[in-house]
Amino acid sequence: MWATRGALGLCLLAVALPAAAVSKAELEKRIEQLERRLDSRGLVDLMEQVTALQREVAQLRGDVEVQAHAMESLQKRQRELYLDIDRRLHRLETGGEQGAAAASAGTPAPPSAAAGPAPVSPPPAAGRAAAPSVA
């Protein structure tokens, strides 16, 4: 019985030694595969970061275009307002000179086109409390 067990142990040892050598080679192969996967995962992460940055750059470019358009519109509006004020001021200056010349001639000056009707104040709102008087 001891002989059978000893023979069985030797057989198992003989089988285990090549299996250990094979498993070591397999383990090294699996480690290499895992390293490649990790390296490729790193590349995938980098590609995802690059893609995210490209999307962000595209979004920022769009924002810059919108802001540039808004600035151009504001500059155009500012220029229009400046020209309008300049025209009105010129009319007032020209109308003032015509008024002085007409006054010296004894005829009344024509009303200025820039001077429109007097602004009308809105009626007091119903239910609004009167302002307290200061004593």
Q: How far apart are CA 14 and CA 7, in angstroms?
A: 10
- pTM above the 0.85 mark? no
Q: Could you list the pLDDT tens digit for every one of the 135 residues in the chain?
A: 666 666 666 656 665 555 556 688 899 999 998 888 877 888 889 999 999 999 999 999 999 999 999 999 999 999 999 999 999 999 999 986 776 565 566 555 555 544 555 555 555 555 444 455 554
Residues across the chain: 135
Q: How far apart are CA 98 and CA 112, in angstroms?
A: 10
